[in-house]
Structure 1
């Protein structure tokens, strides 16, 4: 693939995305299982997972307020340094308070698709790394594809504890803890990449200021950002019930799937998702970004609801693969759409406010999962998530079908 149309900084951002999401891949599979093994109950597991999402809310707002003031490169480097800190805490202790603190400060991601602190900044920077506006859809598709391929590779690593137990005599908890060292190594590599970014990623204005306020954003963009933030919140609240750590826990508990099997399942699902990102660009060029977002997402959510009623592991796996081949097509299309319909100087606040609304909503769901499972069933979160996400799809279609980005006008 010829990537000459992407600047050096753009390629570095893609590299950071690859390394970072590789580590998120195995972490998303093993974290809930690890917490269960060290004695946490379902409610406590939900609270720790919620803490990993709450940090995204705080750091997104921090990015908006200070990225242009202190420097985007410095903020990205800070977040990478916090990844290192959280990895060390998870490795050295199983104290509940310490792990919650690590989850709160560590930019940990366990959703199976990135929603964390890095995303808003990188999402706003990517259009600056290509000169041709027609390539905007492509850079977002590549950005999400390489991240998902890397996450799939990371998921494969989640099978490593089984090998350490079998061939090297590790106990189950000790074998899983070894992965936190790999996570720390990835965080160090991510930090090194960010430190090589050039000044071209910084704000172009001579008077950098906070972007947290909406007062300098046009009324048209305010309306778009407000509606999208609300709808994204609905989608993410539903998605919070089916983050990858929960799906992993569901397969593990309901069908007895071991870590090795789960690593293969999520790797295949990740490959299907990565391919779907590239396909979404081609579909969008034919039917438009909004139509692509909606008409691929509704079928995936129907499959999610059906997954809850799977009578066997093989059927559940088939439904899950079918769902993952469709469910993320809206990611690069909505990112590109949002960056296309707001002005260039509005991109960081647009990304921050919409992603923050997603993070707040998604941070709520995992804390409720333990209660939902206890009161209803292990599969109930899948139904809750599917219904809410279909409501989001309907809202997106009727709110934005007439608002076109420049290349579609």
Structure 2
């Protein structure tokens, strides 16, 4: 019985990718912790952001405009910091982003002026959606891809994503009930209780800055790892399956020598540019849909339609984030069996249907059920998507490509909140969720059509190695026959 139990836990340990994360370098663990801290702060601010602005007597339309301008500001900041990150230093860029996060939190804790708050959110880092904002995600994912072999990448990225979801869950429930406790037990006004959240947000920015400074020089692109034994599988799922003897290690300083100075702006190959255009169009469509239904608007919707308090909202979105985290544990196993693209699409479609169904019931329990069902499948595509993107481009292009893609996603997402604000102002709040779900389903169909069977750069390199090895074997056999 003990052997069976031990074998079962070992199987779970391997299938969920936890083994890959635990054996990963310390820098990967620090990056994962940074994501947890950051999303903890985002979760706390998101749960009260729209309510905070509403208590400042800001209209729904202006709240939507605020979110849109915030996302547009993020486009500029993210583009600037990600395209030069590999030149200036990834650690410095992460620390700078954390400083901007702290500055935004302090201004929100002190100011009540709409335009000052807009400027703080545009020039700083405030998440209006509860999701990633700023340059952090692109730089961190590029660094993880740099440090981890391709065969382990999806496993590690899964736990990186789970850390963010766990952070969001913790932030929403802790700050949601903290705000309600301050209002009910200590008779604080809503605005006073909301400002405490922003002070905490600034403090978490400082913590994140310190964590960024702890990263080693291995995170910088000068020592890009190369595979000492190329993988032998050519299928899409080889990105997720470890190969015997495969080991990626950074090149030594002696082998690197003195590299020529890198240009400030990245240079992308023609093939990569075509790929980036396609992915930007598809991810932009998905992000536009996400912008119509961010967590901030969802909390506002459930608060106004069903009267849920801050504490109950915190619990609801805590459970949603936990479900998202749990579902991500299944993603690596699915990707190994179905492939990256099929996993992305087949898990995303049910979530899109649930999103479109949220405004249909007038019963809070049914609407909450749709929300939780969506949460249980909505993020399962994230790790496979990032693994696909990392494998589809050259290693030297990853940071720039991920930054460009994230900028396009944010730019597309920025159009959504202001549209939802107009819908809410005209008493058609639910229509935003229906349109968002429909757009996401269109994205899923196009993704399947355009990329099913697509061979990435790494997969083509594997096939070339296989062909070379096969040719060498044939030559060796022919030579042996001649000797006989």
TM normalised by structure 2 equals 0.81
The one of 80, 83, 105 equivalent to 1:87 is: 105
The alignment's TM-score, normalised by the length of structure 1, stands at 0.95
Worse overlay, 368-377 or 340-349: 368-377
Q: How does 1:240-259 map to 2 (within 5 A)?
A: 240-259=291-310
2 CA distance for matches of 1:106 and 1:158? 23
* 1:46 matched residue in structure 2: 64
| Matches of 1:389 and 1:210, distance apart in 2 | 37
**1:283-321 deviations in Å (ceiling 9; x for gaps):** 111000100111111111111111120221100001100
Task: Give the equivalent residue in structure 2 for 1:125.
Answer: 143
User: Could you tell me which residue of structure 2 aligns to residue 384 of structure 1?
Assistant: 435
User: Is 353-362 or 49-58 further displaced after alignment?
Assistant: 49-58
What is the Cα deviation at residue 187 of structure 1? Answer: 0.6
2:179 counterpart (156, 161, 164): 161
Q: Deviations over 1:162-205 (max 9, x none)?
A: 10112222111101111111111111100000011111111217
Cross-structure match for 1:285: 336
Q: Report the Cα distance in structure 1 between the residues aligned to 2:71 and 2:98, rounded to whole angstroms.
A: 16
Within 5 Å, give how 1:157-306 maps onto structure 2.
Answer: 157-204=175-222, 206-210=259-263, 212-213=265-266, 216-306=267-357
1:325 counterpart SS class: helix
CA distance in 2, matches of 1:308, 1:75: 40
Provide, for residues 22-67 of structure 1, a one-character-per-residue CA deviation record: whole Å limited to 9, x for no partner. 0001111110111001110011111111122123211221123321
CA distance in 1, matches of 2:308, 2:82: 42
- d(CA) in 1 for partners of 2:290 and 2:360? 18
Equivalent residues in 2 for 1:57-76, closer than 5 Å:
57-76=75-94
Aligned counterpart, 2:4: none
Report how many residues are paired. Answer: 406
Counterparts of residues 286-365 of structure 1 (less than 5 Å): 286-365=337-416
SS at match of 2:329: helix
- SS of the counterpart of 2:185? helix
| Unpaired runs of at least 5, structure 2 | 1-17, 224-258, 464-484
Whole-Å separation in 2 of the counterparts to 1:181 and 1:373: 29
RMSD over aligned Cα atoms: 1.6
- State yes or no: 1:36 paired with 2:54: yes
Deviations 1:382-404 (A, max 9, x none): 01111111111111111111213
| Partner-residue secondary structure (3-state), 1:159 | helix
Q: Contact conserved, 1:68 with 1:210, CA < 8 A, in 2?
A: no
Select the residue among 156, 163, 168 that pairs with 1:146.
Answer: 163
Per the alignment, residue 122 of structure 2 pairs with 104
- Structure 1 gaps of 5+ residues are none
Structure 1's 37 and 330: CA in aligned 2 closer, same or farther, altered over 3 A? same
- Aligned equivalents of 1:290, 1:43: Cα separation in 2: 37
